[in-house]
């Protein structure tokens, strides 16, 4: 199949990062470390656990879990995200298979590649890097991925399980990572008012389902919501995923609230690069009001990739176990591993 000639195999092994626990300075003041939800630190611990799971799987299945990533076009940000994902695969001892296509790729080419990957015994997870070029139908492309290999958690089956059961074999990576960050705070989520800014299929909607499953009272605010500040000011947990640089200001936050900043925006800056990265939250001023807060970068981002690896391992175990036993009697979302359940 000539469509596969554009592919190449990449594995990267690099040493682990080490992060400090010093007080961090932002703006004119200093923010105590205990206020910072350190996504890099939590992600490092998560990846360490995943690496052990990969070793266990490899010993039993005689192969490592494999992730295939499809990239369409030459967007620098998408290429950087894909590179980060493949590097992290290598660190976890997992092979990654990257398929690059030009901006004008035909849907038929993508379908042929995805069909090949759906059948591949070496591939446990398939990820199509979003956004896709405008001429491609994103829903159809995502829908063609085998739900058992849908490590982005965007297929109708996985979304349906998450909405109905409050859990799914493969959950959307960013919301799953946020839940891990929230758990790292040690705060009991039961009964908390959680406000989500943004209703996207990738973050807002699955985030609401996960928080509901943990007995939060959830409000989703969006571009048509009136008096957003009235909602944010009563939030015990505020999750900002709007894509608007530093939209959330200090006066919008309830004192002591947990603030999760999903946004990552490039704005002009007087430095060598000519730009800097900021979130959807005005970090320096909001950190003075919040009880705990994620920085940008170094907050949600590292957890998203860690959850992608976790989903790939989860898929590998599910597929391996299914090859050994008949699981047709099990309902959707039911673990077939007993104690070996890697839902997070």
Q: Which residue of the set 124, 146, 150, 152 is catalytic?
A: 152
Q: Which residue of the set 41, 53, 85, 149 is catalytic?
A: 85
Q: Which residue of the set 129, 292, 310, 314 is catalytic?
A: 129
Residue 32: exposure state from Cβ atoms within 10 A (0-12, 13-18, ≥19):
exposed
Closest of 233, 227, 271 to residue 253, by C-alpha = 233
- Domain 63-146 CATH class label: alpha beta
For tokens 């040690």, name the residue: 186
- 129 flagged as catalytic: yes
Per-residue pLDDT of the chain (344 residues; tens, 9 = 90+): 444 433 333 333 333 333 333 444 444 357 888 899 999 999 999 999 999 999 999 999 999 999 999 999 999 889 999 999 999 999 999 999 999 999 999 999 999 999 999 999 999 999 999 999 999 999 999 999 999 999 999 999 999 999 999 899 999 999 999 999 999 999 999 999 999 999 999 999 999 999 999 999 999 999 999 999 999 999 999 999 999 999 999 999 999 999 999 999 989 888 988 889 999 999 999 999 999 999 999 999 999 999 999 999 999 999 999 888 754 555 554 444 443 343 33
Whether 63-146 shares its CATH topology with 170-302 is answered yes
Query: Could you tell me if 127 and 155 are in contact, meaning their C-beta atoms sit under 8 angstroms apart?
Result: no
- CA 316 – CA 334 distance, rounded (Å): 15
Predicted model pTM: 0.85
- Domain parsing of the chain, residue ranges: 63-146, 170-302
Which homologous superfamily is 170-302 in? NAD(P)-binding Rossmann-like Domain (3.40.50.720)
**Which residues make beta-bridge pairs with 191?**
none
- 266 flagged as catalytic: no
> Cβ of 17: how many Cβ atoms within 10 Å?
12
- 85 flagged as catalytic: yes
Closest of 166, 148, 113 to residue 320, by C-alpha = 148
212-215: list long-range contacts, CB under 8 Å, 24+ apart: 212/166, 213/165, 213/166, 213/167, 214/179, 214/189, 214/190, 215/189, 215/190, 215/191
b/e burial code for range 261-285 (CB count within 10 A of at least 16 → b): bbbbbeeeeeeeeeeebbbbbbbeb
For tokens 């070496």, name the residue: 122
Backbone angles phi, psi at 22, to 5 degrees: -75, 160
Alpha helix ranges (H) inside the chain:
39-61, 76-91, 107-119, 138-143, 156-165, 173-184, 204-213, 228-232, 283-287, 300-324
């Amino acid at each position: 199949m000539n469509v596969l000639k554009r592919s190449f195999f990449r594995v990267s092994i690099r040493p682990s990062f080490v992060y400090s626990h010093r007080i961090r300075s932002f703006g004119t003041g200093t923010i105590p470390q205990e206020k910072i939800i350190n996504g890099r630190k939590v992600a490092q611990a998560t990846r360490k656990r995943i690496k052990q799971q990969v070793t266990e799987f490899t010993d039993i299945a005689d192969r490592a879990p494999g992730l295939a990533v499809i990239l369409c076009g030459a967007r620098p940000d998408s290429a950087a995200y894909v590179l980060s994902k493949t590097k992290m695969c290598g660190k976890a001892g997992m092979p990654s298979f990257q398929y690059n296509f030009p901006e004008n790729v035909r849907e038929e080419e993508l379908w042929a590649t995805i069909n090949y990957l759906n059948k591949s015994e070496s591939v446990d997870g398939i990820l199509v890097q979003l956004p896709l070029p405008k001429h491609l139908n994103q829903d159809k492309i995502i829908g063609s991925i085998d739900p058992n290999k849908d490590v982005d958690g965007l297929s109708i089956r996985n979304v349906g399980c998450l909405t109905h059961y409050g859990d799914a074999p493969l959950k959307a990576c960013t919301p799953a990572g946020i839940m891990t960050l929230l758990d790292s705070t040690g705060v009991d989520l039961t009964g908390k008012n959680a406000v989500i800014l943004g209703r996207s299929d990738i973050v807002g909607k699955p985030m609401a389902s996960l928080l509901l499953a943990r007995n939060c009272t959830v409000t989703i605010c969006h571009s048509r919501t009136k008096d957003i500040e009235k909602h944010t000011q009563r939030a015990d947990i505020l999750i900002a995923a709007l894509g608007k640089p530093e939209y959330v200001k200090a006066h919008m936050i309830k004192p002591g609230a947990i603030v999760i900043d999903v946004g990552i925006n490039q704005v002009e800056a007087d430095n060598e690069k000519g730009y800097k990265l900021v979130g959807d939250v005005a970090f320096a001023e909001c950190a003075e009001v919040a009880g705990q807060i994620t920085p940008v970068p170094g907050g949600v981002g590292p957890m998203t990739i860690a959850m992608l690896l976790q989903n790939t391992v989860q898929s590998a175990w599910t597929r391996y176990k299914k090859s050994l036993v008949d699981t047709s009697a099990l309902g959707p979302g039911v673990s077939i591993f007993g104690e070996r359940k890697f839902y997070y």
